[in-house]
Amino acid sequence: MADSLHTTAVLAEPGPIAVYWGTTALIIIDMQRDFMEPGGFGETLGNDVSQLARAVAPIAAVLKAARETGMMVVHTREGHLPDLSDAPPAKIARGAPSLRIGDPGPMGRILIRGEAGHDIIPTLYPVEGEIVIDKPGKGAFYATTLGADLKARDIDTLLVCGVTTEVCVNTTVREANDRGYRCIVISDGCASYFPEFHEMGLKMIKAQGGIFGWVADSSAILDAITRSETTLSENTLETSNKLAAGASR
């Protein structure tokens, strides 16, 4: 389990960060069908959804490792109640005039909870025990239970990934930073419809000595987890050998 893993350093920018995996959570932001899939809301607005698809494999790799080690996993979905009572008028008014939040779309009503397009893509679908946060805003803390859920598990470090880099990922990281969490953004596990926005979003997070957090790619995260497991195995073997030696005396 994650709480039995050792602290290891993640090679990140602007510098390495020591991570204790027992108080670390993986936060996967808005990997929803309406944003990710051809024919969904994102594509109907003229966006190239293939730009987001590149984040799926890195997220899946980190998610697999998180599940194997017992790390806390949180998935978020942006969306609203069917009556739109939790959607401010300014938000509803944005978007293409012919297709706004709540309107019928290719996968049901746009960004409405319970509709097919609102759900998470099958590749990253939550399993039993993983928390799903339905958020009405861009950030995962606003009007949700995320803060309480993290506090209940004594979490102090967040691995953040998902879409889009410059909007919901950045907003969540900034909210978390203000609440005292250390955030490591998984660079290849984030994406934007606009590659230049993705790059700038990452630069803003790690600027000025990591003003909002750290940035690392998925391979650095996986390497740190593996090193933690290796250290644990080596220590367990050393302890077993000492016990065996003592018993033979």
Burial class (CB in 10 A: 0-12, 13-18, 19+), 222: middle
| Cross-strand partners of 188 | none
Instruction: Indicate which residue of 119, 134, 161, 168 is catalytic.
Output: 168
Q: Where are the alpha helices (DSSP H) in 3-119?
A: 33-36, 41-44, 50-53, 56-69, 89-93
Spatial distance between the Cα atoms of 228 and 20, rounded to a whole number of angstroms: 9
**Cβ 140 vs Cβ 166: under 8 Å:** no
Instruction: Indicate which residue of 34, 134, 135, 183 is catalytic.
Output: 135
Instruction: Indicate which residue of 30, 34, 119, 134 is catalytic.
Output: 30
**Cβ 32 vs Cβ 77: under 8 Å:** yes
Structure tokens at 241: 């050998």
Is residue 168 part of the annotated active site? The answer reads: yes
DSSP state, 13? B
By annotation, the residues acting in catalysis are 30, 135, 168
